[in-house]
Structure 1
Amino acid sequence: MERSLKIVSTTKWDTIVVAAAVLLVVSILFGGASRQHEVRLALVELTALPLLVIAGGRLIQNGVWRSHQFVLAILSIVVLIPLLQLAPVPPMIWTNLPGREPLVLALQLAGLQPGWATLSLTPDRTLGAALALLPPVAMFLAVLSSPQKLAVRLVGLYLIASVTSILLGAAQLASGGEQLYPWATTSAGSVNGFFANRNHLATFVLAMLPFALVLSAASLRRSRSNPLPIWLGAIFVGLVVVALGAIRSRAGIVLFPPVILASLVAAWIATGRKRIAPAFLMMIGVTGGALAAIAYLALPPILARFDSTSAAEGRFDRWPIVAQAAESYLPTGAGLGSFDPVYRSVEPLATLDNTFFNQAHNDYLEIWLEAGWLGAIALALFLVWFARRAWAAWRGKVSGARDLQRAATVAIGTVLVHSVGDYPLRTVAITTAFAMCCALLEMASLAESDAGDQRRRMRV
């Protein structure tokens, strides 16, 4: 009987591994854009459904959810926001909400009486935003309900996806045409990999950098006689540096120094905080050599990206307009996905130019506009959770789980900082990877619980 139960349990874990791996691959291939590709995004969302059912059932069945009530409460708020915005409410409620005056006036001019309506000004876009939550929620629950070996496998797959995307970007640059770009909204001549936006490729490879360094360095703790993991880590770092030089993403270039520094510190801790081994120094040397090569070969075009005269972007000038518009729709927000039509309705004529300002290029402002007070509460709770878990991860003892958690803090921090000036979390590929990192970090609570149980047993 015990043997059969063990086989059933192993089979269920294997099912989650396969379903999570499939979602990972599909999200990378078809989830690299944030708009105008509903069919591909729907494929990613459909792929997430089996994993969501399996992982959710496993989380409830084994009772692990009790150890993660705080983060699951935050997740529930995030899921609840679009559901509340899509719920129909009587006219006596929605007509008295801020920002609805033009709608009421339009109905009056047409001789129509207001009827029941949703809180969202754009229910179709809000429904799309709600469905886009399926992949990250499924990935988060899958990693949270599974053993560490699943996380290691997924991290390995993401590292492979990063390298593949970099190589695809190199082929795109070399081809000179548009045939190798998976998204029609991408202009030829840039390095985008599987993404529609080169900035998002830069964010993705930077987020994977700490995992490559930490896993390579951790091999020194287990065995110093096998240099292959260190070589692989050094090669990955070199590829990322060269890729950032070719991508020419300003955000990627600015974020690289703090990311590589934090990743190297996490990697040093993963070695056991012992003296720096020659192999580890080699990894640092490869990083320095790649940076020197990029500085010599591609510094002028990179610096040109920071020349304000060559970048006709007024995103910083438009942020006050977005903030003012957000105040007009408090407390409920205008509805997830409503930024584009809402901004069009308040955009001053003086800011009109040949650029297409389809996102706020500041996810925090966009959340404030679209989700209102409830979105701000969810964001604040998330930042509190992240700070607590990051503190625990970096203070914890050296172990395989802690290695992954420290790398996850760097990856999450990279995406959060980039979200100040862009919208990486509007792409399903990055939100799914981000969800995996959050689940890895949340596992710190289990590590703390296990350590506490062990100390109590030792006292007894």
Structure 2
Amino acid sequence: MASQTLRSKNDWVKVKMVNSGERRVQVGKIGEELNWGWIILALLAAVVTFTGGASRFDAIQIVPLRSLSALFLVWSLFFLSKEWLKAERALIILFACFALMVMLQLVPLPSRIWQSLMGRTGILQLDTALGLEGIWRPLTLTPMRSWNVLGSLVVPAAGLLLAIAVRASSLTLLRIVAGVGVVNALFGLLQIVTGRSSVLYYYEVTNRGGAVGVFANENHAAVFAACSMLVVTLLGLKAHKERSAVWERLIYPSAFFLILLVALTGGSRAGFVAVMGTVLVSMTMLALFPRPPKGIRAQQKVGRWFDQYPRLILAIPVFFVSLTAVAFLALDRTPAFRDILVINSFEDLRWSLWPVIIEMLEEHWALGTGFGSFEQVYHIYEPSALLMPSYVNQAHNDWAQFIIEGGALAGLLLTALVVWMVKAIKTMVFHRTQKVYAIFWMGIFAIVAAASLVDYPLRTPLFQLVAVWLLLALSRDARDISAT
């Protein structure tokens, strides 16, 4: 009986050792997958960061950008599964609908149908004069530009499917976005130091002398800085909540102040307002973030100090941010703020474009002019008073331009996206411990939406990639909260 008991105990020990070994193998495999997923996503982010900062269709950087993005897209198709796609079906359906809309605009239509469409009178008169009445034409007024838009979708498609294929978590996606924000700030800082002739201005059409970072447009760099500051704030709060290493809990505030410092030196008025709004939202998140339970004490000395003086930890960033902003304003080192005071906002070109944009909306709200067509179609409506040495290539109001180019279907698609976002954020608003996350998501999407009222940040491939990853991170956060 004793020997049988001993043998049972030995068998139990062996079984336990085998199970422990299996668990170690499983954990090792999971860790390996996560590491590879992180690396692959970071490689895609690096490619798009250094080649996807321009919104122009003729930027030479789009050649390596789309070629390499296509390789990432093909790679992701080999590792996708039906279950993973089903989990993110809402985002995939919305993206597929947009791609389908662009393709439908490129389908040639019989001449009689095309001639009966709204907003085609001027082109019809030219066809009549040239004897081209029977030509079949697509819905888009600029087929080559619409083909370019269709080709540009390879970047966000690669970002979306690759993140799903490697099962990237919300935390992983946000960390990569924060890393891109730091790189953007470092490039902007080096550009200011090295001057207008710096080789770091690697786009032909750019704002030389300003902190454009990895973008071609200073406005886009400033708006991206505002978004990345919010991401860094959330990551810092998560690191504090999860008792991460001290170096990780200190690196996020450092990144925040670096991005803020560079953003304040920029000349973008919209970006300056966005950054100031970001600071307020970040401080609100810090104030509302729940304290860890009193019974839990950190192992490190610095960690215990963080937990014992949470109010002081909140006061320190508020003090330094306020001091930095006041110092920049007092020393007249904020060109954007100076422009806000000097330039009459109603004399800005954006306001002068409004009558033209409204006229284009009235004629093309139903079917649209074709994605990517605004620059050329605008010439039909451009008044003599707005003729100038520079030219208008975007509406500087992406909400209106999206409807002008896509018509009513584009408006419905945009509405569906907004409804989905509201539904996802709503799950956090009414969750007692997730209100800070709701503030973060509302804040970051409000920044992009407000910036799109006066500019076109989402026309750049880098912003498109980041937007797709933010939407995917929101989807996963909302699903995790609903499951609890």
**Structure 2: 5+ residue runs without aligned partners?**
1-21, 294-308
Q: 1:351 aligns with which of 386, 390, 396?
A: 386
Q: 1:186 aligns with which of 182, 203, 206?
A: 206
The more displaced of 69-78 and 239-248 is: 69-78
Q: Which residue of 2 aligns with 1:282?
A: 316
Q: Which residue of 2 aligns with 1:113?
A: 133
Change (3 A) 1:54 1:395: farther
Q: 1:173 aligns with which of 187, 192, 199?
A: 192
The more displaced of 329-338 and 366-375 is: 329-338
1:315 aligns with 2:336: no
Letter in 2 for 1:189: G
Change (3 A) 1:84 1:260: same
Letter in 1 for 2:371: L
Q: Which residue of 2 aligns with 1:396?
A: 431
TM-score (norm 1): 0.87
What is the CA-CA distance between 1:295 and the residue it aligns to? 1.9
Q: Is the 8 A contact 2:76 2:158 kept in 1?
A: yes
What is the CA-CA distance between 1:14 and the residue it aligns to? 5.4
Q: Is the 8 A contact 1:29 1:194 kept in 2?
A: yes
Q: Which residue of 2 aligns with 1:454?
A: none
Q: Secondary structure of the equivalent of 1:381?
A: helix
* Alignment root-mean-square deviation, CA: 3.0
Q: 2:397 aligns with which of 342, 358, 362?
A: 362
1:40 aligns with 2:75: no
Letter in 2 for 1:316: W
Letter in 2 for 1:278: L
The more displaced of 283-292 and 417-426 is: 283-292
1:27-426 to 2 correspondences below 5 Å: 27-56=48-77, 58-59=79-80, 61-149=81-169, 151-178=170-197, 179-223=199-243, 227-272=246-291, 276-298=310-332, 301-306=335-340, 307-308=342-343, 313-396=348-431, 398=433, 407-426=440-459
What is the CA-CA distance between 1:132 and the residue it aligns to? 1.5
What is the CA-CA distance between 1:227 and the residue it aligns to? 4.3
Letter in 2 for 1:117: R
- Alpha-carbon separation, structure 2, partners of 1:181 and 1:279: 38
What is the CA-CA distance between 1:316 and the residue it aligns to? 1.2
The more displaced of 327-336 and 441-450 is: 441-450
Change (3 A) 1:448 1:166: closer
Number of residue pairs aligned between Structure 1 and Structure 2: 446
Letter in 2 for 1:205: A
Q: Is the 8 A contact 2:175 2:235 kept in 1?
A: no
**Structure 1: 5+ residue runs without aligned partners?**
452-460
Q: 2:476 aligns with which of 433, 443, 446?
A: 443
What is the CA-CA distance between 1:176 and the residue it aligns to? 2.5
Q: Is the 8 A contact 2:267 2:334 kept in 1?
A: no
1:428-439 to 2 correspondences below 5 Å: 428-439=461-472
Letter in 2 for 1:210: L
Deviations 1:299-357 (A, max 9, x none): 67443311225996321121221121132224221001100111111101012233322
- Alpha-carbon separation, structure 1, partners of 2:400 and 2:154: 23
Q: 1:18 aligns with which of 39, 62, 65?
A: 39
- Alpha-carbon separation, structure 2, partners of 1:157 and 1:67: 22
- Alpha-carbon separation, structure 1, partners of 2:411 and 2:77: 26
Q: Is the 8 A contact 2:266 2:335 kept in 1?
A: no
- Alpha-carbon separation, structure 1, partners of 2:421 and 2:466: 16
Change (3 A) 1:426 1:201: same
- Alpha-carbon separation, structure 2, partners of 1:219 and 1:3: 26
